Structure 1
C-alpha cells in the first residue's frame, strides 16, 4: 500500500487519518497473465493501481484484428475512466500481460472517499488526468515508418521490450511479428 500512498501524495496532501481511511478502502488483488481487469461490453466497476506487472489496453478492429492501444506499468492507475464514471459498457479490454499485483478500489469505495476526505476530488481529478494522458500520449503514429514507431516504443516504455510478448508489441506498433523481428535485428 506504501506505493499507492506515495503516488497519491504527488497530487495533494493527506493527514494520517485520511491515509488510514484510504488503506481501509482498498483490497490487494492478483491477476494472472492474460486475465482481464475489465472487458469490452461490460461496465467497469473498479479503479486499480499497479504494484507489480504490466497491463495493456486493447480492442478488436471491425476485421477482428487485435490492436493494443497502450501499456500501463507499475506505480500507475489503471481504469477505463470515462465508462467507469458514466456506468456505461467499455469498448476496450484491459488485460494483464504479465502476472500482476494491484490495489483495487471498488466504485463505491472510490466515490465514498469524495464524501469523506476534503480535497479528494481535486486529488482524484489530477490522478485521472495523468492516467488519461498516459493512455493517449503513447499511441504510435501510424503515418511514421515502423522503425520509428519501434524507437518511440523503446523511448516511451524502456523496460518493456524484454518483459512482454513480441505479439503485444507488434500489435501496438501495427506490424506483424515477422516485421518486428526484422526491425529489432536491424536496430541491434
Structure 2
C-alpha cells in the first residue's frame, strides 16, 4: 500500500476507530493518488470539483478574485486536511474558489459518486463523512466569526497559535490576504508583539 494511502487510512481510523480492516481496504479501493507540483491547480474557480482531496503531504491555498481583481486567500490546508470547497462539492455546483499548491503535494482523492456509493453501503463511512463535514463547517464558522469579533492582531495571534508549523511555509502576502490586513499593518502588529 502507498504511504499516502496509509496516512489517509490512519486518519480515517482516528476519527472512526471501530472500522474493521476489511472496511478500510474497501475505502482505500475507491481512492486515487494525485501528485501535484508547486503552483499546480487542484481546483479552478468556475469548475465543478470532481474529487475531494485528502492531503497526505504538502500545502495548498484556497483563494478567489474580488471585484477589484485582487486575489484573496481564504484558507491554507496542509497534511491531514481536505482540499475542497465542500458546499459546492456536495451540491455539484461550480466552485467560487481556486485551490492551488504552495508546495509539492500528494493527495488521496475520492470522487463524489464513489463517496456516495460507499455511504449507501456502509453506515460507518457515512458517519465519517458527517464528522469531516462538521469539522469543515466549524472551521468556516470560526473564520467568519473571527472577522466579526476579533481585531487584526487577535486574528494573527489565533493563526500563529492554531497553525504554528504553517507560518514559515506561507508568504507574508498570502498571510496578509488571509487575515484581511495590509502588509504594513502586519509589520506593526509583529513589531508591537516583539516588544511586549
The TM-score with structure 2 as length reference comes to: 0.85
| Pick aligned residue for 1:61 from 63, 66, 74 | 66
Match of 1:10 in 2: 14
Shift in CA distance, 96/132, structure 1 to aligned 2, threshold 3 Å: farther
Instruction: Specify which of 148, 151, 154 is matched with residue 160 of structure 2.
Output: 154
Structure 2 CA distance for partners of 1:185 and 1:32, relative to 1, 3 Å: farther
Q: What's the offset of the Cα at 1:160?
A: 1.2
Rounded Cα–Cα distance in structure 1 between residues aligned with 2:131 and 2:156: 30
2:183 is matched with 177
Change (3 A) 1:36 1:133: farther
Partner of 2:172: 166
Unaligned runs of 5+ residues in structure 2 are none
Paired residues of 1:78 and 1:131 also in contact (CA < 8 A): no
Deviations along 1:61-111, one digit per CA (max 9) or x if unpaired, are 211222111222211222212111111111112222222111111222222
TM-score scaled to structure 1, two decimals? 0.88
Corresponding residue number in structure 2 for 1:133: 138
Within-5 A mapping of 1:2-151: 2-12=6-16, 13-138=18-143, 140-141=146-147, 144-151=150-157
Q: What's the CA shift for 1:116?
A: 3.0
Q: Judging changes above 3 Å, is the alpha-carbon distance between structure 1 residues 14 and 144 closer, same or farther for their aligned structure 2 residues?
A: closer
Find the residue that maps to 1:22 and give its secondary structure: helix
Is this contact kept in 2: 1:142–1:174, CA < 8 A? no
**Aligned partners of 2:160 and 2:42: how far apart in 1?**
25
Query: Where is the helix percentage greater, Structure 1 or Structure 2?
Result: 2
Cα distance between partner residues in 1 of 2:81 and 2:100: 15
Per-residue CA deviation, residues 100-141 of structure 1 (Å, 9 max, x unaligned), is: 111111222222212333432122111121123224424542
C-alpha distance in 2 between matches for 1:146 and 1:81: 26
Aligned-residue RMSD, C-alpha: 2.0
Q: How many pairs are equivalent?
A: 188
- 8 Å contact 1:8–1:127 — kept in the other structure? no
Moved over 6 A (4+): none
